[in-house]
């Protein structure tokens, strides 16, 4: 994506608190994430890193405080959420999987470009695996497949939960390149991680007791 390709949006959280299973996992959290910025969300297991990303994505309601995505058009799809689960059905090939997601996005009116499955797979280093059943892909390849899905429908906000999980050094370098291209185009990224990210974060939110 060229610089300035994305509409300028900002994610702003104020005095945010979230609970999981009836237990408060964090509270009093405020931050602001603007175009071209990467936010690293760190902390020990159970500190609420995934919970925060899900709250930003609108998948759960905060216990207190607010999250606003400013500058978005009404009903616009602005975020991709890449969680721990892979959006893959073992019996479907990668090509069939990408076609499925392309149809979903197109029906929602949320595909900015015509889907090119070969190009998406090439971008993440999986062109050779397009016609393989997802069930035979390695954990790292499945992670790359999740990235390929995101390529089908460009959106300004990426919410990445442990994005380096299962990736080898080559995969981490690829991830870093994709992340850098995204923020260079004016996109935003919030990444929950317990490891160093492949590119430098502009800001950090630390949850729990991790220094």
**Is residue 1 included in any domain, yes or no?**
no
Q: What is the pLDDT of residue 173?
A: 96
Q: How sure is the predictor about 25, in pLDDT bands with cuts at 50, 70 and 90?
A: very high
pLDDT at 75 over 70: no
**Is residue 211 included in any domain, yes or no?**
no
**Is residue 61 included in any domain, yes or no?**
yes
Q: Burial of 114 by CB count in 10 Å (0-12 exposed, 13-18 middle, 19+ buried)?
A: exposed
DSSP state of 35: T
Long-range interactions of 45-51: CB distance < 8 A, separation 24+: 45/194, 46/208, 47/207, 47/208, 47/209, 47/210, 48/18, 48/20, 48/207, 48/208, 49/161, 49/192, 49/193, 49/207, 50/83, 50/84, 50/161, 50/192, 51/18, 51/20, 51/25, 51/26
Rounded to two decimals, what is the model's pTM? 0.91
Domain extent, residue 33, equals: 10-206
Beta bridge partners of 14: 66
**Is residue 62 included in any domain, yes or no?**
yes
Q: From 20, 172, 183, 163, select the one nearest 86 (Cα to Cα).
A: 163
**Is residue 127 included in any domain, yes or no?**
yes
3-state SS class at 196: coil
pLDDT at 4 over 90: no
pLDDT at 172 over 90: yes
The CATH number of the domain where 198 resides is what?
A: 3.40.50.300
- How many folded domains does the chain comprise? 1
The predicted-structure confidence for 105-130, as pLDDT tens digits, reads as follows 876 655 544 567 888 899 999 999 99
**Is residue 151 included in any domain, yes or no?**
yes
pLDDT at 79 over 80: yes
**Is residue 5 included in any domain, yes or no?**
no
């Amino acid at each position: 994506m060229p610089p300035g390709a994305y509409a300028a949006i900002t994610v702003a959280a104020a005095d945010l608190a979230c609970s999981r299973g009836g237990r408060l996992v964090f509270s009093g959290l405020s931050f602001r994430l603007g175009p071209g910025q990467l936010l690293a969300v760190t902390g020990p297991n159970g500190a609420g890193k995934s919970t925060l990303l899900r709250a930003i994505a609108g998948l759960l309601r905060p216990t207190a405080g607010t999250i606003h995505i400013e500058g978005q058009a009404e009903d616009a799809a602005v975020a991709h959420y890449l969680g721990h689960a892979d959006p893959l059905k073992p019996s479907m090939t990668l090509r069939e999987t990408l076609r499925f997601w392309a149809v979903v996005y197109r029906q929602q009116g949320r595909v900015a470009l015509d889907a090119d499955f070969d190009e998406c797979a090439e971008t993440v280093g999986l062109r050779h695996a397009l016609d393989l059943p997802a069930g035979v892909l390695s954990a790292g390849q499945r992670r790359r497949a999740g990235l390929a899905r995101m390529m089908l429908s460009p959106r300004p906000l990426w919410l990445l939960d442990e994005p380096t999980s299962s990736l080898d050094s080559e995969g981490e370098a690829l991830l870093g390149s994709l992340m850098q291209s995204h923020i260079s185009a004016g996109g935003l990224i919030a990444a929950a991680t317990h490891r160093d990210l492949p590119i430098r974060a502009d800001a950090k939110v630390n949850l729990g007791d991790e220094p």
